[in-house]
Structure 1
Amino acid sequence: MDKLSLIGGILALCALLLGSVLKGAGIEALWSPAAFVIVVVGTFAAIMLQTHMSTFMLAWKIARWVFMPPSQDRAGVLAKIVEWSNTARKQGLLGLEAQVKDQDDQFIKKGLQMVVDGIEPDAIRNVLETDMHHQQTRDTAAAKVFEGMGIYAPTLGIIGAVLGLIAVMKNLADPSKLGHGIAGAFTATIYGIGLANLLFLPMASKLKALIAEQNESREMILEGLIAIAQGENPRNIESRLSVYVQH
């Protein structure tokens, strides 16, 4: 669990609710079915029109990373790489064959199998770099779904406000309805700007940062496997890859 994201989400909600109370509007002023339909439903409709189904589904799959980011134990992976290097120097590359089936990470499993099979280092690099690029492209496109929602929500909030003001203009003859109508009109703007800046855009930025970290972890794995295939000294491998572990 990412405690910082959890605290940030709670503070964002508190800021909105407490701000409404302190300004005298009250929490009930934030609820508007019409604004919800226009902004929230409209935002989902817009992003569905923009996005491919597979990307849309992946976006909601990785959304949990904001609060439960994927494990990235680089120190542990580095220790494994050094261990594999020692094994390869003592027993040859075939000595790593027993390690392949124990790997849960498909990227590591595929790369280690290629090393065991004696494939040329350049060929290993080409295959794994292609996998890295493809995965990063897919994940980044999914993260941009929330970025797109952050762009559409404020605009739809304005549309909701304009529609609310149109309704107010139709009731100019009845002053008792004006105050409530104007307040309701601006609720849609709050929904749009609030969702964009307190949820969708921060989520997109967090996900893109996590995707970049994942790609960097794969770079470390790639360089380690190539070094093993080239028969480098385990100490040299550890020294060179330790930069990926430093924060």
Structure 2
Amino acid sequence: MDFATPIGIVLALGAVLTAIILEGSSPMSVMLPAPMMLVIGGTIGAGLATTMLPDFLRAFRALPGYLAFKRPDTTATVELLVSLTDRARREGLLALEDAARDVDDPFLRDGLQSAIDGMDPEDLRETLEARIDARRARDKVVAKLFTDMGGFAPTIGIIGTVVSLVHVLENLADPSSLGHMIAAAFVATLWGLLSANLIWLPIAARVKRVSEIECAQMEMVMEGLLAVQAGSSPRVVGQRLRSLAGEEESAKEAA
């Protein structure tokens, strides 16, 4: 599994806390319940207000899957599709009935079963493209929610600071407490900027990248299934699928 985003968020937050310590302060000086509650709660509430409740709940339920995403094994998928193409060419599509039941990828399994059942190639392409578009649209809704939250957080932090400064002005008669109160007032702004740039926006970018990888994988599988159905040459199919997967493979090798 690829835990780059959770690790990155932890490292970024750790850097902020380390800087606070090196400045001679205490991390607890920014761990104030009121501004944290206002910024985080206000950001989540504003995010909810921009979308529909089912979309909001679906986004947070799906979040662990995006953060613990495992890059699909493109090489194994290409080899499987090539072997299916070779077998279909030699024995016919009906011979793949048992192989379809052993496929783990539901998109590949359903598409292969549709091809075996005799679905027209154009209908098969349209059906698979519709599933890819649906997946892309769903991911877009999730990414937009977290992007919006990243935009709301700094402004809500400023609102928290203004609220705190109003309280400061109410206590001008007590100069000894003003320094602490003013410092505490700016904690809300800190959490607004911090949560936007170290949590919400990185999560939105992660969702977009996961969506790109999975949709590219699905598109490659779709082309492979159509080749299986058409009885194409296994060698040609392998070359085409490897070229389609080239960008993802290069990224995988560089990782």
**Interval containing the TM-score (normalised by the shorter chain):** over 0.9
| Distance in 2 of aligned mates of 1:2 and 1:106 | 21
Asked whether the equivalents of residues 165 and 182 of structure 1 are also in contact (C-alpha less than 8 Å), the reply is yes
Corresponding residue for residue 32 of structure 2: 32
Corresponding residue for residue 49 of structure 1: 49
| Distance in 2 of aligned mates of 1:197 and 1:65 | 21
Corresponding residue for residue 214 of structure 2: 214
Corresponding residue for residue 128 of structure 1: 128
SS at match of 1:232: coil
The CA deviation at 1:3 is: 4.6
The CA deviation at 1:245 is: 3.1
Corresponding residue for residue 105 of structure 1: 105
Corresponding residue for residue 8 of structure 1: 8
Corresponding residue for residue 224 of structure 1: 224
Q: CA RMSD in A?
A: 1.5
SS at match of 2:167: helix
Point out where structure 2 has 5 or more consecutive residues left out of the alignment: 251-255
Asked whether the equivalents of residues 2 and 66 of structure 1 are also in contact (C-alpha less than 8 Å), the reply is no
The CA deviation at 1:37 is: 2.0
| Distance in 1 of aligned mates of 2:62 and 2:140 | 10
Corresponding residue for residue 241 of structure 1: 241
| Distance in 1 of aligned mates of 2:71 and 2:62 | 13
Asked whether the equivalents of residues 5 and 203 of structure 2 are also in contact (C-alpha less than 8 Å), the reply is no
Same amino acid, percent of matched pairs: 38
The CA deviation at 1:62 is: 2.8
After TM superposition, the structure 1 = structure 2 runs for residues 79-98 of structure 1, keeping only pairs within 5 Å, are: 79-98=79-98
Asked whether the equivalents of residues 58 and 139 of structure 1 are also in contact (C-alpha less than 8 Å), the reply is no
Letter in 1 for 2:127: V
Letter in 1 for 2:10: I
User: How many residue pairs align between the two structures?
Assistant: 247
| Distance in 2 of aligned mates of 1:7 and 1:190 | 21
SS at match of 2:59: helix
Letter in 2 for 1:212: E
| Distance in 1 of aligned mates of 2:220 and 2:131 | 14
Deviates more, 1:74-83 or 1:97-106: 97-106
Asked whether the equivalents of residues 65 and 207 of structure 1 are also in contact (C-alpha less than 8 Å), the reply is no
Corresponding residue for residue 169 of structure 1: 169
Question: TM-score, length-normalised on structure 1?
Answer: 0.95
Letter in 2 for 1:19: A
Asked whether the equivalents of residues 88 and 96 of structure 1 are also in contact (C-alpha less than 8 Å), the reply is yes
| Distance in 1 of aligned mates of 2:53 and 2:91 | 48
The CA deviation at 1:71 is: 3.8
| Distance in 1 of aligned mates of 2:87 and 2:53 | 45
The yes-or-no answer on 1:18 pairing with 2:18 is yes
Question: TM-score, length-normalised on structure 2?
Answer: 0.92
Asked whether the equivalents of residues 88 and 228 of structure 2 are also in contact (C-alpha less than 8 Å), the reply is yes
Letter in 1 for 2:166: I
Asked whether the equivalents of residues 85 and 234 of structure 2 are also in contact (C-alpha less than 8 Å), the reply is yes
